[in-house]
Each structure stands twice: as structure tokens, then as C-alpha cells.
Amino acid sequence: MRTDYQHFQLVTIDNLTDFEPYAESFATTFQAVFTSPPYHEQFLISEALALMEFHLETKQRWTMLALCEDKVVGFGLACALRNYPEISRHIHGLLPPKYTHYFAELGVLPAHRQQGLGKQITQRYLDWVDQQPYNNVLMRVSDTPSLANQMFIDMGFEDMGVSMEIASRRTDGSIQKDRRLFLSRLIESV
């Protein structure tokens, strides 16, 4: 399903066949999003495609691509928290994994940031998850203050006071750790 917002088209992806026409563009965008601040991470095209393949095989997933002139300029990926056991273990006792949905990835190309696209993708996700059998949404963000982090707070997410260290390959080839904060949002009953 395609929806136009300003000059962006938001496309819901349900399976690998739907994704195939956008695969190369998605992988390039994924790389560009995560090499930019605050992450400075390096991903291979094959790693980005493997992540999407894993995601599209998870249960209770939500996938959206934002297009501009048929090129992927943003994305949102979410699924049932149970699909991420390492995250479930990290927040054990704080949120029930069975009733929590995980907003795993949100990315917008640097050239398209601060135009409301991240907020549109997030709102579309929240509208979708409000109709699902979940009580909470969970996400991880960089602990570096950013406009994106503030956007999530403004949209009703709260800092849980929990963080975890992530080791990743940086754009200079080194492996370094950084901290990610967990934000959660109670899902409104319909």
C-alpha cells in the first residue's frame, strides 16, 4: 500500500517479493543512515540485506519504506519483541516480552532529515501497533542527544533508565562500543 506525504511515498512491505524491487536501494540507504552520526557504523550491503531477510521472516512484523522518486530514503522495521531474545533478556522484569512490540530500526537519509519523515514513519507504526494485541512498544536509541531522540520523547516514549553497550564495526574499521538507551511507550487502548 502506498501513501503520499509531501514528496515521499510510504510503502508497506509484507514479504520478500514485495521487498525485491527495493532491495538494492534499501541496502545503500541502510549503509548511509548508519555511517552518519550518531552511529558511525559500517555495514556491508550483504549485512543490510540479511537483516531485512531476517526481519521479513519474523512474526508479527511491520515494515515500511519511504520512497522519493522510487529510491528508498527512509525505513521503519518493527516486530514482536520475542523475535529478539537478547533484547528480551536485557529488559527482563520491566516489560512483558509477550505483550511488547519492538521498533527495531528507524532510519532516514541525512539529506531528508528534519522534514518530518521520521515522525511520519513512527506515527504510521504507532497507528498500526495500536490495533495489535500489545501493551507496550520498545526501542533502542543512541545515548548521544539528538533531534530524533527528542522526537520520540515528544511522541510519548519514555526513557526506561536502562541501557546496554553495543559493539560495532566503525567507519574507520575499528570495533568500538557505544551505549544505547531503551525507550518505551504504553500503547493506547482502542
For residue 105, what are the contacts with CB-CB under 8 A and spacing of at least 6? 51, 55, 75, 76, 77
The grid coordinates listed for 19 are 521487498
Q: Which helix (H) or strand (E) holds 126?
A: helix 117-129
Residue 55 near residue 106 (C-beta atoms within 8 A): no
- Residue 172's pLDDT band, with cuts at 50, 70 and 90, is confident
Per residue in 98-155, pLDDT (tens digit) is: 999 999 999 999 999 999 999 999 999 999 999 999 999 999 999 988 899 999 999 9
Residue 73 near residue 117 (C-beta atoms within 8 A): yes
Per residue in 23-60, pLDDT (tens digit) is: 999 999 999 999 988 888 999 999 999 999 999 999 89
Give me the DSSP letters along 50-68: HHHHHHHTSSS-EEEEEEE
Considering only CA atoms, which of 109, 154, 159, 167 is closest in space to residue 139? 159
Q: Does the pTM of the predicted model rise above 0.85?
A: yes
- The 3-class secondary structure across 81-99, one letter per residue, is HHHCHHHHHHCCCCCCHHH
- Given the C-alpha cell 509477550, which residue does it identify? 98
Structural domains of the chain sorted by starting position, each given as residue range(s) with its CATH number in brackets: 2-186 (3.40.630.30)
Q: What is the pLDDT of residue 2?
A: 43
Per residue in 11-20, pLDDT (tens digit) is: 999 999 999 9
Is the predicted pLDDT of residue 9 greater than 80, yes or no? yes
- Residue 4's pLDDT band, with cuts at 50, 70 and 90, is very low
